[in-house]
Amino acid sequence: MSSSSSSSSSSSSQSKFLDSGFVMGQKEVTRILILFLGLTASCLVLYKAAYPLQRLDLNNLTSRLASPSPPLPNLNSSDISPETPKPKISFKEILENASMKNKTVIITTLNQAWAEPNSLFDLFLESFRIGQGTQQLLKHVVVVCLDPKAFQRCSQLHTNCYHIETSETDFSGEKVYNTPDYLKMMWRRIELLTQVLEMGFNFIFTDADIMWLRDPFPRLYPDGDFQMACDRFFGNPYDSDNWVNGGFTYVRSNNRSIEFYKLWHKSRLNYPDLHDQDVFNRIKHEPFITEIGIQMRFFDTVYFGGFCQTSRDINLVCTMHANCCIGLDKKLHDLNLVLDDWRNYLSLSEPVQNTTWSVPMKCLED
């Protein structure tokens, strides 16, 4: 998301749009591309069309998303004898287990396509292993799985996996991006993160197509309730007109952040056709944001970079996001190059003077 002005909105929406789309089939991509090209005249339509989360596989999800609050199993562990088969662990228990001492967790979401072997989840985990100071962060990562297959694969590789409950309704039909089902999924994530805040946890939310190359915690702002990465950063950490990207956020749990998330979620009713990020852009200058008193900060891409704007210094980079990139194959190709660049960097004995990334390569072809 970007600014409230229509010109920058459309550009940033474009990067948003490019960022998404990986779950879509080739046909859908083509279709949406055609749509996209056909509508370049209309900033508003572009604006609506743009969102990074269409990557989420919405199959079989909608009905569970339709329920106002998530069905979090509330097990009283003291009721369970050691002999009983392992019950499903509640979201809260998983958060508690994953939490740092200062009640901070790292949260990502995962669907089947991203969880397949050699897909994004493998790269995501690999980045933690070869990143600087990131290995010990893995135990704090909670993976919210959106379908059973993602949960199954996650459980094989990782400790703290949570499967969002679903109803039996089958939504196996093609889920076209920006449909009502799609929007429900977007809002479901905001709802989930609101609950995390209400349970008293601070979090970093990270998309799984973000490589963690260095521990980002030292780069979080010491003040600021709500901190967000950018597709493009223009130099002012306080300016919500940076082209923000919801794929990486750091949020402190307090009254202000909880109220802000609730209002954000509620604002969807005023913009039934928009997803959370577009609604954020609509409400960010509203007086009630000032009234809540929430402090927002925006991250420099030198630390939190991506394919839209690569980090200009590999000696400083913490994360690299496969944003501005259509298609899972392209994301995979280029994120593999990011990890190659990183391994190469680690093997050097002298500091790197001028950073040159191999990326974007395939992602640039869009």
Ligand X SMILES: *[C@@H]1O[C@H](CO)[C@@H](O)[C@H](O)[C@H]1NC(C)=O
CB of 11 to ligand X, least distance (A): 26
Among 104, 119, 240, 310, binds ligand X (CB under 6 A): 104
Contact between 100 and ligand X by CB under 6 A: the answer reads: yes
Strands (E), the chain: 104-110, 141-145, 161-163, 202-206, 210-212, 226-232, 243-251, 296-298, 304-306, 319-321
Report the residue number, 69 or 76, with the smaller CB distance to ligand X. 76
Contact between 349 and ligand X by CB under 6 A: the answer reads: no
Size of the site for ligand X (CB under 6 A): 22
Report the residue number, 226 or 243, with the smaller CB distance to ligand X. 226
Residue 14 · residue 275 · CB < 8 Å: no
What is the Cα–Cα distance from 107 to 113, expressed in whole angstroms? 18
Among 26, 81, 84, 102, binds ligand X (CB under 6 A): 102
The values of phi and psi at residue 25, to 5°, are -70, 165
Residue 316 · residue 299 · CB < 8 Å: no
What is the Cα–Cα distance from 202 to 6, expressed in whole angstroms? 33
Contact between 255 and ligand X by CB under 6 A: the answer reads: yes
Question: Could you give the C-alpha distances from 120 to 237, 284, 314, 340, 347, in angstroms and in order?
Answer: 29, 31, 21, 15, 24
Beta carbons within 10 angstroms of residue 249's beta carbon:
18
Contact between 170 and ligand X by CB under 6 A: the answer reads: yes
The window from 23-31, 97-105, 277-285, 324-332 that contacts ligand X (CB under 6 A) reads 97-105
What is the Cα–Cα distance from 85 to 330, expressed in whole angstroms? 42
CB of 99 to ligand X, least distance (A): 9
CB of 89 to ligand X, least distance (A): 5
Q: Where in 229-248 is the site for ligand X (CB under 6 A)? A: none
CB of 181 to ligand X, least distance (A): 12
Residue showing the smallest CB distance to ligand X in the complex: 172
What is the Cα–Cα distance from 191 to 197, expressed in whole angstroms? 10
The window from 96-104, 223-231, 312-320, 322-330 that contacts ligand X (CB under 6 A) reads 96-104
Q: Which residues are 321's β-sheet partners?
A: 210, 306
Residue 303 · residue 216 · CB < 8 Å: yes
Residue 110 · residue 148 · CB < 8 Å: no
Among 139, 282, 312, 333, binds ligand X (CB under 6 A): 139
Beta carbons within 10 angstroms of residue 144's beta carbon:
24
**Pairing state between β 202-206 and 243-251:** antiparallel
Report the residue number, 33 or 100, with the smaller CB distance to ligand X. 100
Contact between 312 and ligand X by CB under 6 A: the answer reads: no
The window from 27-35, 46-54, 165-173, 340-348 that contacts ligand X (CB under 6 A) reads 165-173
Q: Which positions touch ligand X (CB under 6 A)?
A: 59-60, 76, 78-79, 89, 97, 100, 102, 104, 139, 159-160, 168, 170, 172, 217, 220, 254-255, 353-354
